[in-house]
Amino acid sequence: MTMLEIIEKKKLGGELNEQEIIFFARAAANHSVPDYQLAALLMAIRLKGMTDRETMLLTMAMRDSGDVADLSGIPGIKVDKHSTGGVGDTTTLVLAPLMAACGVPVAKMSGRGLGHTGGTLDKLESIPGMRVELSEDEFIRQVKEIGLAIVGQTRHLAPADKTLYALRDVTSTVDSMPLIVSSILSKKLAAGSDAIVLDVKTGSGALMKSMEDSLTLANTMVEVGKMAGKPIVAVISGMDQPLGTHVGNALEVREAIDILAGRVKGDLLEVSLLLGGYMMMLSRKTVTPEAGAALMRQAIESGEGLKKLKEMIAAQGGDPRVCDDPERLPQAAVIRTIRCEEDGYVQAMNTTGLGLAARDMGAGRTKMTDQLDYSTGFVMKVRIGDRVTKDMPLCELHARTEEDADRAAAQVRAAVRIGPEACPRARNIIAVVIGDYAKNAEARQ
């Protein structure tokens, strides 16, 4: 078997067998074939597609290309959550402490932000002293002791994906459905979870802009999970505006703290409770997601959710006092309120544009080596569907310099459309996929 033979087979639309797919994944992991051959096969997959079985086999081969975490020492069913990426998407920092407070262990490996999307690790590192790199023994011990740990992925987790992901970015194959599915699920399965809840974003700030593509991705991942023996629930949620009102690392930590303290409700809480409800159901803590969400609400009211966040921060070397005094988080040098400057209704937002505005202020990266300014970002004061007047606040900017604030103000204004006609509010939860889409997708108004 040679790489050229595999490329030729897929180029002509053939279905790859298990041995051919394992050869491909191992070659990507150990660099035993040239990048140009890997790239050629990626393009053939992009143009000819893969069956669900091929996608499942590629997912498992990529998972097995490196280490697979062993979480068997942690009692209970371990359920992971993954988002396809968005702006103001702080669900992990809200639902993970709530899950732990409800008795469901959370052993989570997360990533960093790139481009217009934020990363959970970057948000955590805005907390003074916070460590996100733990050994496997430290990681498992912490989850056993306090029920919660959020850390970075090891270098040896799904190394085939690291190679292929970089090649996809420079060969125009990022939008291949089988490659998206195998990339996401190989890392999640390698992280050792027993079940997975996926948050598939759709809209102007999402990887998948159209509902059709989002449904296809959700349904494919659920089906591949089923074939791989892993229960998966996929929630399709809206990204036509930032999920939370706060965008930027320390600002998003502050919003998570406010939610866990019971001071704030809104869209971020709604989506977090739904995702957590399904995590509770998959962990068999509750029979329905609604019952799981109810337990999470109780954990907010009792203060147990915020207590768990404090415990995790302290266990990972951070300053837990930020939970009682968020002013201990990094503070921006320039804080400026910009106004709507016209009467009407907020009709639409370019969420990607808003994410890029935060990135350009120092809250995000254009390449992984960029250094972040954890204090920067903005707080949106309006939502789609709001009636506004010209003197009302549109956004509160947190910037390094006045020049940064000027540029960000222009970017935010360009990303928010205000018009005279009333319009409906953006939907947060659009569908839930739990198997055969035709039978189980739950459309929500």
- Check the CA dihedral 35-162-46-192 and report its sign: positive
Calculated CA dihedral for residues 306, 309, 310, 314, nearest 10 degrees:
180
Task: Name, in order, each residue with C-beta under 8 angstroms of 314's C-beta and a sequence gap of 6 or more.
Answer: 320
State yes or no: is 70 an active-site residue: no
Is the separation of the CB atoms in 433 and 441 below 8 Å? yes
- Active-site option among 176, 182, 183, 283: 183
Burial 58-76 (b: 16+ CB within 10 A, else e): bbbbbbbbbbebebeebee
State yes or no: is 193 an active-site residue: no
- Active-site option among 82, 108, 246, 310: 82
- Active-site option among 122, 161, 199, 373: 161
Rounded Cα–Cα distance for residues 30 and 240 (Å): 40
CA angle, 108 as apex, 106 and 110 as ends, to 5°? 150
State yes or no: is 82 an active-site residue: yes
Please provide the DSSP assignment of 66-103 as one string. SB----TTS-S--EEEEE---SS--HHHHHHHHHHHTT
- Active-site option among 116, 123, 168, 310: 168
State yes or no: is 187 an active-site residue: yes
Reference 242, options 12, 10, 428, 437; nearest CA is: 428
C-alpha distances (whole Å) from 197 to each of 127, 194, 311, 330, 373 are 27, 11, 24, 32, 31
- Active-site option among 187, 188, 310, 427: 187
State yes or no: is 31 an active-site residue: no
Catalytic residue numbers? 82, 161, 168, 183, 187
